[in-house]
Homo-oligomer: A and B are copies of this chain.
Amino acid sequence: MTIENVSCTLNRYPEGMVKLDDFKIVQGPIPEISDNDVLLKVLCCSVDPFMRGRMKKDNPSSYVPPCQPGKVIQVFSITQVEKIGANVTDINVGDKYMCFNGIEKYTVVPQQAIKGDGQKNLGNYNKIDPNNPIKDSFYLGLFGMPGMTAWAFFNKVGKPKEGETIFVSAASGAVGQVVCQLAKLKGLKVVACASSPEKIGFLKGAIKVDEAFSYRDFPDKESFVAQLRKVCPNGIDIYFDNVGGYILDSALQLMNVHGRVVMCGMISQYNLKDKYQYTLQDISNRRLTLQGCLFNDYFPRCMGEFMQDMIPMVQSGKLIYKEDVYKGVEKTPEAFIGLFNSKNFGKVVIEPF
């Protein structure tokens, strides 16, 4: 039996909510390599909400190049060198990289792509130290873009102070669960919102947030504001927004003087044509800051500080991380759609093998 390659391509640009057949799973032989090429085995791939922004024809503001119909979808991945061409140097079978790579079992790249121009930028191949005790998939989550995002936005934009109240939406997600834990460790009161009793249980039990509730129980602004008033009797000092929409609009009503709204993403809006409209009343009186944030502004600049701060917390068991692992490239469409219908629970990872 010939082992074949399996890849996930974009079938077409999605209209509105992403659908299963916006993707296409293609099979083929394991690609041949020439003398200057490297064959990479893909160990795990990351599925993140920001990818939705890449699945548009014209999206000048998107911060990564768009996906193209018929092409393999590129995501943050962990790959391992399986085979090298005759002229390849300084790259060895078994080496692992954190990189931007296709969702597939095998990929061939020229050695120059891995070696790059010496700059350690997003999208480049970053070699993973084999002595590092961190498990592979964590480079996509806790120690990857979502974890770094959580750490940087919480600390650098949220500017948390002990005793403050933080409200976190999508709180059991790839970013949210890290924000909740960092905030607890810093002595904040943490109010978390997610989508299901199972997630609420995790947040209250494993993460030990102070309050957790399902937004599904408060499906409009009026009831959501009432719920927030109940669980945030002292108002909100930091709102870490992962969702946008009526949840953001509600949180704005509760923000305290000098409150910070960390605008990390608006997952409720990515698939909508008619976007939510927000009330911005009283922003001046309350001196609120609403700050849109992007990973790229903090990394690789803050990488050292991030690792130094995080590793002890993880090693001592003070910081845990929940993943939602999908086995097989063909599960990608389901995993991606699960980001938007709240089906996923924790950081979504695809394992091609």
The answer to whether A277 and B275 touch (CB under 8 A), given A285-B294, A292-B289, is no
Query: 6 other contacts beyond A266-B284, A275-B279, with CB at 8 A cut-off?
Result: A61-B282, A61-B285, A63-B285, A266-B281, A277-B277, A288-B292
**A284 engages B294 (CB within 8 Å):** yes
Q: How far, in Å, is A237 (CB) from chain B's closest CB?
A: 14
Q: Mark A56-68, 1 if CB is under 8 A from B, else 0.
A: 0000011100000
**B285 engages A293 (CB within 8 Å):** no
| Chain B CB within 10 A, most for which of A278, A282, A292 | A292
Which residue from chain B places its CB closest to the CB of A282 in the assembled complex?
Answer: B61
**B287 engages A283 (CB within 8 Å):** no
- The answer, yes or no, to whether A152 is at the interface (CB within 8 Å) is no
B-chain residues with CB within 8 Å of residue A265 when the two chains form the complex: 284
**A53 engages B285 (CB within 8 Å):** yes
Q: Mark A263-281, 1 if CB is under 8 A from B, else 0.
A: 1111001000001111111
Which residue from chain B places its CB closest to the CB of A288 in the assembled complex?
Answer: B292
* Main secondary structure on A side of the interface with B: loop
B-chain residues with CB within 8 Å of residue A279 when the two chains form the complex: 275, 277-278
B-chain residues with CB within 8 Å of residue A277 when the two chains form the complex: 277-279
Residues of A with Cβ closer than 8 Å to B? 53, 61-63, 244, 248, 263-266, 269, 275-294, 297
B-chain residues with CB within 8 Å of residue A286 when the two chains form the complex: 61, 292
Q: How far, in Å, is A255 (CB) from chain B's closest CB?
A: 10
| Chain B CB within 10 A, most for which of A53, A62, A266, A283 | A283
Bound: A291/B284 CA distance, A: 8
**A263 engages B283 (CB within 8 Å):** yes
B-chain residues with CB within 8 Å of residue A289 when the two chains form the complex: 289-292
**A275 engages B281 (CB within 8 Å):** yes
Q: How far, in Å, is A49 (CB) from chain B's closest CB?
A: 11
Q: How far, in Å, is A239 (CB) from chain B's closest CB?
A: 13
**A284 engages B269 (CB within 8 Å):** no
What are 20 residue pairs bridging A and B, where the CB atoms are less than 8 Å apart in the complex? A61-B282, A61-B285, A62-B285, A244-B280, A263-B283, A277-B277, A277-B278, A278-B278, A278-B279, A278-B280, A282-B292, A284-B292, A285-B294, A287-B291, A287-B293, A287-B294, A288-B290, A288-B292, A289-B289, A290-B291
